[in-house]
Amino acid sequence: MIGGLFIYNHKGEVLISRVYRDDIGWALISSTGGRSRRNAVDAFRVNVIHARQQVRSPVTNIARTSFFHVKRSNIWLAAVTKQNVNAAMVFEFLYKMCDVMTAYFGKISEENIKNNFVLIYELLDEILDFGYPQNSETGALKTFITQQGIKSQTKEEQSQITSQVTGQIGWRREGIKYRRNELFLDVLESVNLLMSPQGQVLSAHVSGRVVMKSYLSGMPECKFGMNDKIVIDKQGKGGTTDDSGKSGKQSIAIDDCTFHQCVRLSKFDSERSISFIPPDGEYELMRYRTTKDIILPFRVIPLVREVGRTKLEVKVVIKSNFKPSLLAQKIEVRIPTPLNTSGVQVICMKGKAKYKASENAIVWKIKRMAGMKESQISAEIELLPTNDKKKWARPPISMNFEVPFAPSGLKVRYLKVFEPKLNYSDHDVIKWVRYIGRSGIYETRC
């Protein structure tokens, strides 16, 4: 179980320190002597934040104490424990903690943390008890931890909160009413790729999320359907759908998925249907991963030629590979340059390209690009001869973009809402669906 939680700024100064168990102090008292809590704090600062070599492992073991950390911009969050805990649980908690903080005060920054000092302690008291994670649902938390001054709640309200938080459906309170029943559904995917210079896919996968924002009255029962291969095949066998060949092509194989706690897992296990009573407001319904039949929105074709010891010629072509009616946005191609670059000349047809010395790369930005098009950049890089014989490692060319479809091929088939007690039907609910495909680590070797 988590023994303590610390938040550091980039200098390694402790902003938040919350100790749940005394054992983490004792763990370090023997190794260094002196005051206990301070030691655990210092150990992490000395060994991770100020470490001479960059620490890449998110788990560090110092004096038999484990430190699990995540970094958000310049802020380090570290969970400390003396015990053999489930690391996945600890990280899940840390991510949740980040989500909660973002939901309360926006971006996690030193400034924000300092301004919401009391709030964070209050949250930490609530979501972690003696090191055991508790309810970290933002919606539920917001009912009783508020940022507006102290508002004394009536007895009824208090008992309502208690019954909700401790009840079976802890994520939704009763008696919600909206004039317009509305529902937003976003499918957000990030596509990762590593491609060889010859255009061979070395590895590719998509990790996606289904994020919902619901403004529904009462306690509605929802059912979500998508083109999951298993479901489609089952239905195909049942002979309910029209063309099995067509549905086979359009269905996708999901490698693994996780759901929000509101989803009834027993039903998913038996019927593979996703049914739930949604929380109010924004939440992440599910997360999934696919590795097969991925639509790669862009293809990068690099050409690098070394001309003597002091010159390098680079030509990069990008091709968009989706329906011409769709538009990709925020395209950025990053071409690494050797460390001894002394000058760069760039020519490009479309967008803007610039040599960024601070990042040792040429950055080429295109605002918009339609499908089935191609564009090209060529650059001449001058090199300074060095006395080092080390060869340039040729790091891969990376790319960023945003496309309005799901590269995994996922399609939302339906989202049905039933509210038997209140008299609005599925047809009265206004539903919005949006697909966004972003680049994750999208690299091509050159």
Partner 1 sequence: MPAVSKGDGMRGLAVFISDIRNCKSKEAEIKRINKELANIRSKFKGDKALDGYSKKKYVCKLLFIFLLGHDIDFGHMEAVNLLSSNKYTEKQIGYLFISVLVNSNSELIRLINNAIKNDLSSRNPTFMCLALHCIANVGSREMAEAFAGEIPRILVAGDTMDSVKQSAALCLLRLYKTSPDLVLMGEWTSRVVHLLNDQHMGVVTAAISLITCLSQKNPDEFKTCVSLAVSRLSRIVSSASTDLQDYTYYFVPAPWLSCKLLRLLQCYPPPEDGAVKGRLVECLETILNKAQEPPKSKKVQHSNAKNAILFEAISLIIHYDSEPNLLVRACNQLGQFLQHRETNLRYLALESMCTLASSEFSHEAVKTHIETVINALKTERDVSVRQRAADLLYAMCDRSNAKQIVAEMLSYLETADYSIREEMVLKVAILAEKYAVDYSWYVDTILNLIRIAGDYVSEEVWYRVIQIVINRDDVQGYAAKTVFEALQAPACHENMVKVGGYILGEFGNLIAGDPRSSPLVQFNLLHSKFHLCSVPTRALLLSAYIKFINLFPETKSTIQEVLRSDSQIRNSDVELQQRAVEYLKLSSIASTDVLATVLEEMPPFPERESSILAKLKKKKGPGAVSVNELEEGKREGGELNGGGERGGDSSSTPSPSADLLGLRAGPPVTAAAPSAGSLLVDVFSEAVKQPSPTAFLRLFVCKNNGVLFENQLLQIGIKSEYRQNLGRMYLFYGNKTSVQFVTFTTTVTCPGELQSHILHIHTWNSLEPLIEGGAQVQQVINIECLTDFSDAPLLNIKFRYGGALQNLTLKLPVTINKFFQPTEMASHDFFQRWKQLSLPQQEAQKIFKANHAMDTEVLKAKLLGLGMALLENVDPNPENFVCAGVIQTKAQQVGSLLRLEPNAQAQMYRLTVRSSKDTVSKRLCELLAEQF
- Residue ranges that bind partner 1, judged by CB under 8 A: 10, 54, 74, 339-343, 357-360, 382, 384-388, 390
Residues β-bridged to residue 337 = none
> Judged by CB, which is closer to partner 1: 2, or 362?
362
Q: Are strands 430-444 and 182-195 parallel, antiparallel or unpaired?
A: parallel
Instruction: Please give the helix or strand (H or E) that residue 303 lies within, else none.
Output: strand 298-307
According to the annotation, is 330 in a ligand binding site?
no
Euclidean distance between CA atoms 198 and 79, whole angstroms = 44
CB closer to partner 1 out of 95 and 392 = 392
Does 356 belong to an annotated binding site?
A: yes
- Min dist CB 48 to partner 1, Å, is 12
Q: Which helix (H) or strand (E) holds 267?
A: helix 265-271
Nearest residue (CB) to partner 1, 281 versus 395: 395
* Of the candidates 288, 278, 290, 325, the residue with the CA atom closest to the CA atom of residue 184: 278
- Amino acid symbol at 33: G
Q: How far is the CB of 54 from partner 1 (least distance, A)?
A: 8
Report DSSP state, residue 84.
-
Q: Is 365 annotated as a binding residue?
A: yes
| Residue 159 Cβ vs partner 1, minimum distance, rounded to whole Å | 48
Question: Toward partner 1, which CB reaches closer, 15 or 257?
Answer: 15
Distances in whole angstroms, Cα of residue 386 to Cα of each of 307, 339, 442: 16, 10, 32
| Count of CA atoms in the C-beta half-sphere (13 A) of 439 | 22
Cβ closer to partner 1: 52 or 305?
A: 52
Min separation Cβ 343 and partner 1, Å:
5
Distance CA 120, CA 266 (A): 35
Q: Which is nearer to partner 1, 311 or 367 (CB)?
A: 311
- What is the dihedral sign for C-alpha 146, 148, 152, 153? negative
**CA-CA distances (angstroms) from residue 315 to 87, 362, 379, 382?**
45, 12, 6, 15
Which residue's CB is nearer to partner 1, number 109 or number 273?
A: 109
In the sheet with 274-276, reading across from the earlier edge strand, the strands are: 274-276, 221-226, 412-418
Q: Of 59, 44, 58, nearest to 8 (Cα)?
A: 44
Nearer of residues 67 and 76 to partner 1, judged by Cβ:
76
**Tokens of residue 430, six digits:** 């206004």
Contact indicator for 361, 336 with CB cutoff of 8 Å: yes
Residue 367, annotated as binding a ligand: yes
- Give me the least distance between CB of 257 and partner 1, in Å please: 34
267 annotated as ligand-binding: no
| Single-letter code of the amino acid located at 399 | M
DSSP-derived letter for residue 263 is: B
| Positions at the binding site | 352, 354, 356, 365, 367
